[in-house]
Structure 1
Amino acid sequence: MSAVLQGFTKSLAMTVLSEIGDKTFFAAAILAMRHPRRLVLSGCLAALIVMTILSAGLGWAAPNLVSRKWTHHIATLLFFGFGLWSLWDAFSDGGEAEELAEVEAQLDADWKANAGTAKEGKADDELKKKKRPFLTQFFSPILLKAFSITFFGEWGDKSQIATIGLAADENPFGVVLGGILGQALCTIAAVLGGKSLASQISEKIVGLSGGVLFIVFGIQSFLSSVDS
């Protein structure tokens, strides 16, 4: 039980500090301003839950593919590496502003493209519905859009790789629970007012906190035995 709790608390803290103010956070916030919040929340949260489970699954499988000793050392190096990366980002200028501008530009381009096609007459509505992709016949296009933007935005992201490393070194069940709760808290905050919330939170403080947290994880992993 203590192993599950340790994995849960580490994953929760890491997820919250990694996700606040990142690209998917801003994407959820901007989408929620233009579309029904429940659809955006459902799509984003579903993508993040799937990503968390996949990442934890990869981390859980890693010791079966590589020796436990090596996965432990790799996880330790990842924690130190992400800690230094977060500290570097915290002292770099314009990180959050650039991410927000990039996400807004991408979504604006998509929004204008959709608005242009929406001006066509309603006579072709039934034909368009029949020609829609298979999944959009059953799910809202907005929900699928939120899901795809979030899923592919998170793929290969620092938080995903950190989750893999954490699950390789901690109880994967606790990592999944903590990650899902952290993702839910961040996504709800983003959908309910993430853009204004992010502007009120100091990016430097979040980056410093995340960097220190990763380094603490690295020190704890370095000092612990491989079999612990």
Structure 2
Amino acid sequence: MEAFLTSLIFVVLAEMGDKTQLLGMCFATRYRWQTVLWGVFVATVLNHLFAVEVGNYLTRFVPISYIQIAAAVSFIIFGLWTIRGDELDESCANAKYSPFWTVAIAFFMAEMGDKTQLATVALAAKFNTVIPVWLGTTVGMMIANAIGIIIGVTLGKRIPERLVKWISAAIFIFFGFVGLYQNLPEKFLTMPFMIGAVVVVALCAYYLVKLEKKPELAKE
């Protein structure tokens, strides 16, 4: 019981204001709250089980910084995907990836190398148990993200859809760049490289906006 309660409290406190809670908030402004909650639940269950059972072994062969870099790049991709996400919103039933899988994949990647995943590994080692820590961290994540989803649902009713989309994309891309800055080797953290990365992402966003406007012009 101690392992469960400790894990639950630790994760709830750690997730307050964390990127995954902000993601839940953003997704809740675009998709049904039930879909977001189930996506978060599935991603958390799988990710934290991975952390407890495999995480400590994986880091022996793959440096955690590589995992965090991959997660950061995926965040930038999700941000650009959000900008071009209108088709997904309009035809979710026929889309290649449904809102549920969009949320689940985003959350799973967000947790890769995140402090709560690393904390799950540490807590499992400390208490030398799997199930209580896994359940505690999972419940803690659900509580923290439920708070974010409630806020997101409230904001979604008051903020224009286009603004919501750009705020969501900006949060994805921001955390992507923060992750890269924190984990890339110092030789890459030069001013030309960083400016170049920002320019490339900005050009991609501009191109996606252009693609978005073409169907609108065709309708007119």
**Bin of the TM-score, shorter chain as denominator length:** 0.5 to 0.7
Which region of structure 1 is more displaced relative to structure 2, 25-34 or 49-58? Answer: 49-58
> Which amino acid in structure 1 is aligned with residue 109 of structure 2?
F
Q: Given that residues 55 and 161 in structure 1 are in contact (C-alpha distance below 8 angstroms), is that contact kept between their aligned partners in structure 2?
A: yes
Provide the residue aligned with 1:213 in structure 2: none
After TM superposition, the score normalised by the length of structure 1 is 0.52
Choose between structure 1 and 2 for higher RCO, CA contacts under 8 A separated by at least 6 residues: 1
Provide the residue aligned with 1:111 in structure 2: 82
For each residue in 1:171-220, what CA deviation from the matched residue of structure 2 results, as whole angstroms up to 9, or x when unmatched? 222111211211111121111115989xxxxxxxxxxxxxxxxxxxxxxx
- What is the CA-CA distance between 1:167 and the residue it aligns to? 0.3
> Which amino acid in structure 2 is aligned with residue 8 of structure 1?
F
Q: Given that residues 15 and 21 in structure 2 are in contact (C-alpha distance below 8 angstroms), is that contact kept between their aligned partners in structure 1?
A: yes
Change (3 A) 1:162 1:32: same
Where structure 1 has 5 or more consecutive residues not aligned to the other structure, the ranges are 66-102, 198-228
Provide the residue aligned with 1:166 in structure 2: 123
For each residue in 1:140-184, what CA deviation from the matched residue of structure 2 results, as whole angstroms up to 9, or x when unmatched? x10000001110011001111111011012122211121121111
Provide the residue aligned with 1:179 in structure 2: 137
Q: Given that residues 27 and 152 in structure 2 are in contact (C-alpha distance below 8 angstroms), is that contact kept between their aligned partners in structure 1?
A: no
Percent sequence identity is 26
CA distance, structure 1, for counterparts of residue 89 and residue 4 of structure 2: 49
Change (3 A) 1:119 1:58: closer
CA distance, structure 1, for counterparts of residue 82 and residue 136 of structure 2: 34
Q: Given that residues 24 and 149 in structure 1 are in contact (C-alpha distance below 8 angstroms), is that contact kept between their aligned partners in structure 2?
A: no
Provide the residue aligned with 1:28 in structure 2: 24
Compare CA radii of gyration and give the structure with the larger one.
Answer: 1
- What is the CA-CA distance between 1:118 and the residue it aligns to? 6.9
Size of the alignment, in residue pairs? 137
How well do the aligned residues superpose, as a CA RMSD in angstroms?
3.3
Change (3 A) 1:52 1:29: same
Please show how residues 97-136 of structure 1 align to structure 2 within 5 Å: 109-115=80-86, 117=87, 129=94, 133=96, 136=97
Q: Given that residues 44 and 147 in structure 1 are in contact (C-alpha distance below 8 angstroms), is that contact kept between their aligned partners in structure 2?
A: yes
Change (3 A) 1:12 1:150: same
SS of 2:17's equivalent in the other structure is: coil
Provide the residue aligned with 1:6 in structure 2: 2
Change (3 A) 1:148 1:113: same
CA distance, structure 2, for counterparts of residue 106 and residue 196 of structure 1: 27
